[in-house]
């Protein structure tokens, strides 16, 4: 009956107390905007990371000495004691993994490259087998040729370089066939790859590829190599991993009860790790949001009590004019819900702003297309939750207003 009247009164009192209303709903605003912004940004990162993982190649996996992520000191000590992987392991796996289309290897270090007076520091120097450029993320060449089997077999001093090095070392000079100096050793440039841009602020184009045999000559062979394999098909992905695992256990003479003393990493394991992290972020967000909504609700309740006290005489007049308990109850409940819903609405706007700004910053940082989408369901949920907070926070003040005695209320000045 008096529902439209209640909404009208609610907006009227919201307008009459603009600053107070805004301050009242700040808690709800912060709660709502933080949850929406976090959801938007993690979702953006989600799709970004799965793209990255796809790029790694869904059929490829890596065999390495230790896992990508070590979570404890004990684990680290155990990994440190493991035997390193070397080129003999590579040859053995090539022979025994029948489900693998390709088995290659790489080993890298950070070095510097020099040409004349130009110096490039922090260059990723990687020794590779010739097939590495075909496993996982494929890098096409801008110029020249890839490394070939003879380069590996004869430990030739040749290199394929990333486009960042062209800028630093060559400028407008044609790099093909020119020599560069890698940590004191001269190698000849035979190819230049296409550019990939940067990820998390890290350039993907600042590297030098040399034959893995050449790498071991220049830097020694004590470093454990990473063996990279690609299954013949998606269906054989698990089989291929099993073959590699079995072959390695045989080579290491591991008995039935012993754990692997090597690690196999797939794109999936990165995805798993990310999803675990995301879950953590969500849990924290939900807790933070719940706390700010609780505080927001308390503030709303407090201000509704003030609002009731301020309007005791008005309540008396309304009762004298025939308002029943439930009319007064509804009036203040609607006001409380409108107030909180308004906070939720502002929170949505705030979240959209945050998501847009952060999306831009992150996108810039990675020089990639990155968007943090504000999902309709998140907006709907935020508005619903803030309205419920308003409803709950309004119950007590509204029932106090409704229970006022009209005679007492009218006498109030």
Partner 1 sequence: MSTATPDTFDGPIIHAEDLWRTYEMGAEEIHALRGVTFEIQKGEYVAVMGPSGSGKSTLMNLIGCLDTPTSGIYVLRGKTVSEMDDDELAAIRNREIGFVFQTFNLLPRASALHNVELPLVYAGIPRDERIEKAKQALEMVDLGDRITHKPNELSGGQRQRVAVARALVMSPSILLADEPTGNLDTATGQDIMALFDRLKEAGHTIILVTHEREIADHARRTIKIRDGQIESDERRGAE
Under the rule (CB under 8 A), what is the footprint of partner 1?
A: 1-2, 4-5, 12-13, 16, 313-314, 316-327, 405-407, 410
Minimum Å distance from CB 360 to partner 1? Answer: 43
Question: Least distance from C-beta 1 to partner 1, angstroms?
Answer: 5
Q: Is the Cβ of residue 270 or residue 317 nearer to partner 1 in the bound state?
A: 317
- What is the rounded distance in angstroms from the CA atom of residue 358 to the CA atom of residue 350? 12
Structure tokens at 7: 């909404």
Of 204, 43, 213, 230, the residue nearest 135 (C-alpha): 230
In the bound state with partner 1, the residue whose beta carbon lies nearer, of 384 and 407, is 407
Task: Give Cβ neighbours of residue 184 (< 8 Å, ≥ 6 apart).
Answer: none
* Least distance (Å) between residue 406 CB and partner 1: 5
Structure tokens at 326: 């439930």
Shortest approach of partner 1 to residue 16 CB, angstroms?
A: 6
Q: Which is closer to partner 1, CB of 292 or CB of 307?
A: 307
- Least Å distance, CB 392 to partner 1, is 25
Give the span between the Cα atoms of 120 and 165, in whole angstroms.
7
Of 303, 361, 359, nearest to 332 by C-alpha is 303
Smaller CB separation from partner 1, 186 or 320: 320
306 vs 349 by CB, closer to partner 1: 306
- Taking CA atoms, 341 is separated from 96, 227, 300, 332, in Å, by 65, 57, 11, 14
| CA–CA distance, 258 with 201 (Å, rounded to integer) | 41
Distances (CA, A) of 121 to 95, 182, 183, 199, 204: 38, 10, 10, 19, 14
Which is nearer to partner 1, 139 or 318 (by Cβ)? 318
Please state the closest distance from residue 14 (CB atom) to partner 1, in A: 11
Distance (Å, whole) CA 411 – CA 175? 95
Nearer to partner 1, 183 or 314 (CB): 314
Q: How far is the CB of 402 from partner 1 (least distance, A)?
A: 9
């Amino acid at each position: 009956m008096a529902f439209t009247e209640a909404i009208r009164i609610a907006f009227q009192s919201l307008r009459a107390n603009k600053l107070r209303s805004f301050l009242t709903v700040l808690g709800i605003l912060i709660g709502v905007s933080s949850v929406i912004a976090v959801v938007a940004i993690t979702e953006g990162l989600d799709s970004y990371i799965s793209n990255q993982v796809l790029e790694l190649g869904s059929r490829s996996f890596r065999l390495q000495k230790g896992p990508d992520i070590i979570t404890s000191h004990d684990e680290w000590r155990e990994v440190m004691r493991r035997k390193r992987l070397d080129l003999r392991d590579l040859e053995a796996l090539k022979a025994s993994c029948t489900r693998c289309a390709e088995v290659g290897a790489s080993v890298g270090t950070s070095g510097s490259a020099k040409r004349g007076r130009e110096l490039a520091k922090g260059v990723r120097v990687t020794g590779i087998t010739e097939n590495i450029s075909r496993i996982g993320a494929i890098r096409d060449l801008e110029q020249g040729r890839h490394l070939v089997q003879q380069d590996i077999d004869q430990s030739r001093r040749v290199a394929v370089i990333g486009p960042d090095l062209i800028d630093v070392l060559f400028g407008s000079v044609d790099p093909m066939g020119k020599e560069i100096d890698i940590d004191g050793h001269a190698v000849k440039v035979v190819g230049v790859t296409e550019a990939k841009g940067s990820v998390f602020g890290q350039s993907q184009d600042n590297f030098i590829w040399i034959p893995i045999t050449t790498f071991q000559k220049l830097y020694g062979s004590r470093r454990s190599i990473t063996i990279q394999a690609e299954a013949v098909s998606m269906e054989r992905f698990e089989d291929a991993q099993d073959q590699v695992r079995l072959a390695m256990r045989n080579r290491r003479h591991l008995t039935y009860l012993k754990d692997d003393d090597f690690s196999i990493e797939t794109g999936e394991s990165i995805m798993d790790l990310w999803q675990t992290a995301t879950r953590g972020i969500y849990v924290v967000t939900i807790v933070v949001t719940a706390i700010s909504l609780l505080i927001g609700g308390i503030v709303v309740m407090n201000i509704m009590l003030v609002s009731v006290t301020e309007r005791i005489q008005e309540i008396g007049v309304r009762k004298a004019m025939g308002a029943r308990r439930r009319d007064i109850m509804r009036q203040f409940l609607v006001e409380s819900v409108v107030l909180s819903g308004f906070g939720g609405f502002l929170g949505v706007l705030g979240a959209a702003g945050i998501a847009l700004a952060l999306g831009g910053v992150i996108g810039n940082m990675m020089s990639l297309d990155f968007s943090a989408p504000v999902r309709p369901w998140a907006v709907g949920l935020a508005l619903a939750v803030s309205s419920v907070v308003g409803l709950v926070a309004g119950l007590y003040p509204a029932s106090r207003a409704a229970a006022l005695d009209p005679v007492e209320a009218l006498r109030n000045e």
